[in-house]
Amino acid sequence: MPEIWFPNLGIKIQHLSRTAFSIGDFNVYWYGLIIGFAIMAAVSVVIHEAEISGQKPEDYIDLAPFAIVLSVIGARLYYVIFSWDMYKDNIIKIFAFREGGLAIYGAVLTGILCGIIFAKKRKLDFFEMTDTVLMGVLLGQIIGRWGNFVNREAFGGYTDGLFAMRILKQQASYIPQSALDNIINISGVEYIQVQPTFLYESFLNLCLLIFILIIKRHKKFNGQIGMLYVIGYGFIRIFVESFRTDQLKIASTGIAVSQVVSAAFIILGIIIYIKLKNKKQRMDSIEN
């Protein structure tokens, strides 16, 4: 029987191990390799964008190591803060990165803070940097979500829709109640059937990237591309989080942290976009 199955699309994956290979007793996981590849792809795009836009690639090469390390730490801290009940009785588990537990918004927020500090230190235009960096970040997110696929995580509740994904019950990282209530039993093998939200987000991020690439040809002001990412990704996450059942919540409120952060991103992104656009128009009118 297949381990992963998209019954309404006719796609079956007979076997997909979380482990890519082992060195002695040390396992190297696909999740880590996929995230590593996503980071390399993101950095490559950033350097390319810097080159074609007349910036110094060296600035971004210098920024990358600090931003990557601190963003990973930020992603972990974000997850730990909003999952504190899992760690409060065993603090050492906070450092168990190999057990999973990274939140993309923690990485994005930390990366933005790094960019602000770096831009100020190097006397660079922060908003021009956002145009350059966030395109790479978006590509990294598109690729990185497939790590969730390999791990059988970050999915939603039960569905029998077109993109319904069946996972062996015993391999699922987390099983929502709606999936437990609708167990699929085939020849004695139990599956859960869920919304593949990782796939939704990866696809919608790809659509956003294509849209940004089109707009980039007609870029009017620094910060335009960066703010389109902030606004667009905010809407994507609000939509995707409406399907997920493993969200990080604000204490006992039942409110998804990511949806609150996404709403804040959208509002802030729109405000900054309008201000930057108006500033550019005023400058153009003065020059004319």
Higher pLDDT, 97 or 274: 274
- pLDDT single digits (tens) 22-58: 998 888 999 889 999 999 999 999 999 999 999 999 9
- What pLDDT score does 100 carry? 65
Q: Which helix (H) or strand (E) holds 211?
A: helix 197-216
Q: Is the model's pLDDT at 251 over the cut of 80?
A: no
Q: What is the pTM of this model?
A: 0.89
* Segment 110-137 mean pLDDT: 94
The answer to whether 94 and 87 are in contact (CB under 8 A) is: yes
Predicted pLDDT at 98: 64
- Range name among 40-49, 105-114, 189-198 with the lowest pLDDT average: 105-114
Mean pLDDT, residues 173-189 taken together: 91
Residue labelled with tokens 């964008």: 49
Q: Which helix (H) or strand (E) holds 185?
A: strand 184-186
CA distances (Å), origin 83, targets 76, 102, 174, 280: 10, 11, 15, 43
Report pLDDT for 44.
96
Confidence grade of residue 257 (pLDDT, cut at 50, 70, 90): confident
Mean predicted confidence (pLDDT) in 110-119: 94
- Which tokens sit at 234? 């905010």
Q: Determine the pLDDT at residue 71.
A: 92
- The values of phi and psi at residue 189, to 5°, are -100, 125
3-state secondary structure of 191: strand
Phi, psi of 249 (to 5 degrees): -110, 155
Mean local confidence (pLDDT), 90-109:
79
Q: 217 vs 209, 214, 224, CA distance in Å?
A: 13, 6, 12
Average pLDDT, the chain: 91
Q: What is the pLDDT at residue 86? A: 78
Structure confidence at residue 13 (pLDDT): 95
Query: Is 141 within 8 Å of 203 (Cβ atoms)?
Result: no
Q: Which helix (H) or strand (E) holds 19?
A: strand 19-23
Which pair of structure tokens corresponds to residue 119? Answer: 């831009």
Could you give the percent of the chain with pLDDT greater than 90?
72
Sheet with 4-6: list strands edge to edge: 11-13, 4-6, 165-168, 189-194, 184-186
From the list 135, 98, 115, the residue with the least C-alpha distance to 226 is 135
56 CB-side CA count, 13 A = 9
Residue 249 has pLDDT above 80, yes or no: no
According to the model, what pLDDT value does residue 83 have? 82
Read off the tokens for 278. 């108006």
Task: Show Cβ contacts of residue 211 under 8 Å, excluding neighbours closer than 6 positions.
Answer: 228, 232
The reported pLDDT for the residue numbered 194 is 96
Q: What's residue 113's pLDDT?
A: 93
Tens digit of pLDDT for each residue in 125-176?
A: 999 999 999 999 999 999 999 999 999 988 999 999 999 999 999 998 888 8
Between 146 and 246, name the one with better pLDDT. 146
pLDDT of residue 36: 92
**Predicted local confidence at residue 99, as pLDDT:** 64
